[in-house]
Amino acid sequence: MGYKVAIAGATGNVGREMLEILADRAFPADEVVPLASRRSLGQEVSYGDRTLKVKDLATYDFSDVDICLMSAGGDVSKEWSPKLGAQGVVVIDNSSAFRMDPDVPLVVPEVNGDAVRGFGKKNIIANPNCSTAQLVVALKPLHDKATIRRVVVSTYQSVSGAGKDAMDELFNQTRSIFTAGELKTTKFPKRIAFNLIPQIDVFMEDGFTKEEWKMVAETKKILDPKIKLTATAVRVPVFISHSESVNIEFENPITADEARDILRNAPGCIVIDKREPGGYITPHEAAGEDATYISRIREDPTVDNGLAMWVVSDNLRKGAALNAVQIAEALINRKLLTPKKQAA
């Protein structure tokens, strides 16, 4: 007997990806229910070869739901995730609302999959920030080999990380530039078309943005609290896939060749690293793919035991929807969750 799965925020970018990935991976669901706010009631979304009608999150009866993939934003999650958890629904939350809660596991299955065992305190498991997810997938196998001391990362994040309105803004601004039309800026603080914006989320008192702080705090929680990390997060005029320039300092020696071999055999990683024009991955090529791609692996001669590399992944998939579905699979594979119908 399969599970009953609800998708909260099913009409958004990530919600639609969740539906597609559940179908693609043949997730053991007897029923999948797309949910959104009342204004989306009756809209249709695709689930495999089926079309499903969206239902109202606020009035839906969750009594027989096993898993809720929550992708409706932090405010909605803060209101609904504890309520659903109290009803015995396991919530896998894509927002930042519960990531740093000590009673909520923050999980990337390739990195700390066993952490899902701690879900029972609140029946909530948190998905990390999209830029953190792909980073720790690449760091974990190298940390196991040579112990990471410090990481310096600059991100090149696509507009889809800011939602559908942000994608529309890039499209409309680009069109306006070519047609001499009016160029409107509403979603971003500055023009995004043919530009870069070195700000994602709000500024904090120390001068870092909240997005940069998330990468620091979440990497420590998921991977190792001893790792020192500093980040610069930049929004770029790319529709899908986040890219990262990563500089790593290790406690123990590790060569570029060793790192390349380790990453080729690491779960969730694909190495594309030919030292020739085009012998690397770009965000365009990673869009629609599940893997975290790693290129430009090289030794950094400015520090002892240093490496530099380029990491790219589809932020809507591994950075959000895919990771959430993998967390659900991790619960099932570890036999931590029985369908309510079967239990009854």
- Residue 94 labeled ligand binder: no
Q: If you count them, how many residues does the chain have?
A: 344
SS3 labels along 98-130: CCCCCCCCECCHHHHHHHHHHHHHCCEEECCCH
- Residue 160 labeled ligand binder: yes
- Residue 39 labeled ligand binder: yes
Average pLDDT, the chain: 96
Euclidean distance between CA atoms 170 and 153, whole angstroms = 25
- Residue 99 labeled ligand binder: yes
Determine the pLDDT at residue 40.
86
Catalytic annotation on 242?
yes
The pTM for the full model equals 0.95
Determine the pLDDT at residue 41.
85
pLDDT digits (tens, 9 = 90+) for 125-165: 999 999 999 999 999 999 999 999 999 999 999 999 999 99
Determine the pLDDT at residue 42.
82
Read off the pLDDT band of 344 (50, 70, 90). Answer: low
Euclidean distance between CA atoms 232 and 211, whole angstroms = 9
Euclidean distance between CA atoms 237 and 156, whole angstroms = 9
Helix, strand or coil, per DSSP, at residue 257: helix
Buried b / exposed e along 103-113 (16+ C-beta atoms within 10 A):
ebbbbbbbbbb
- Residue 157 labeled ligand binder: yes
Residues forming a β-bridge with 46: 51
Euclidean distance between CA atoms 253 and 146, whole angstroms = 7
- Catalytic residue from among 68, 143, 242, 269: 242
Q: Please determine, for residue 1, whether its predicted confidence score (pLDDT) is greater than 90.
A: no
Q: Please determine, for residue 338, whether its predicted confidence score (pLDDT) is greater than 90.
A: yes
Catalytic annotation on 143?
no
- Catalytic residue from among 68, 130, 143, 269: 130
Angle between helices 256-264 and 130-146 (to 10 degrees): 120
Find out whether 165 and 173 touch, Cβ atoms under 8 Å.
no
pLDDT digits (tens, 9 = 90+) for 203-218: 999 999 999 999 999 9
Which whole number is the average pLDDT over 76-91?
Answer: 97
Helix, strand or coil, per DSSP, at residue 227: coil
Q: Please determine, for residue 343, whether its predicted confidence score (pLDDT) is greater than 80.
A: no
Determine the pLDDT at residue 341.
85
pLDDT digits (tens, 9 = 90+) for 12-63: 999 999 999 999 999 999 999 999 988 888 899 999 999 999 999 999 999 9
Q: Give residues with Cβ within 8 angstroms of 63, minimum separation 6.
A: 87
